């Protein structure tokens, strides 16, 4: 158990996930989103965090909270800005998100489950968060 576990609030994480699901539903041409974090949506996530969200395909979203010393400007960040944040964090952590996405996409069983979840509007997220990242 880490020092951050006390900060995690599952109900807040559910709220954040639902808000992201609705946002991507309202913005079907987008695959990335940059937003202010909800305090407690992940272990150690505070008001100093932003969250970059990548929707790989309907039903699969990665949320990555990170600390940022700069405030988020009003309005939605453009797709290119949100994508750059996500890709930068992936490179910084040397993660193979695309390989993971390709593996999931190649599995008919997983894709069928994701289609079913998306149809039921019961989508979830994968939390890739390293809360110590500074921007």
Domain positions in the chain: 5-127
The C-alpha angle with vertex 84 and arms to 129 and 13, in degrees rounded to 5, equals 30
Higher pLDDT among residues 17 and 105, named by residue: 17
C-beta neighbour count of 10 within 10 angstroms: 9
pLDDT bin (cut points 50, 70, 90) of residue 39 is very high
- Region of poorest pLDDT, from 55-59, 74-78, 108-112: 108-112
End-to-end CA distance of the chain: 26
Question: Does the pLDDT value for residue 120 go beyond 70?
Answer: no
Three-state DSSP state, 127: strand
Distance CA 26, CA 23 (A): 5
pTM: 0.72
pLDDT attached to residue 68: 86
Region 18-22 average pLDDT: 95
């Amino acid at each position: 158990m880490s020092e951050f576990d006390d900060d995690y609030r599952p109900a807040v994480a559910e709220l954040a996930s639902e808000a992201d699901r609705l946002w991507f539903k309202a913005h079907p041409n987008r695959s990335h989103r940059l937003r202010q974090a909800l305090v407690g949506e992940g272990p150690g996530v505070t008001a100093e965090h932003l969250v970059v969200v990548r929707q790989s395909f309907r039903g699969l979203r990665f949320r990555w909270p990170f600390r940022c010393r700069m405030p988020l400007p009003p309005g939605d960040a453009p797709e290119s800005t949100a994508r750059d944040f996500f890709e930068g964090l992936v490179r910084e952590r040397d993660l193979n998100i695309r390989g993971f996405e390709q593996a999931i996409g190649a599995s008919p069983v997983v894709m069928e489950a994701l289609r079913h979840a998306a149809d039921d509007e019961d989508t979830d997220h994968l939390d890739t968060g390293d809360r110590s990242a500074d921007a």
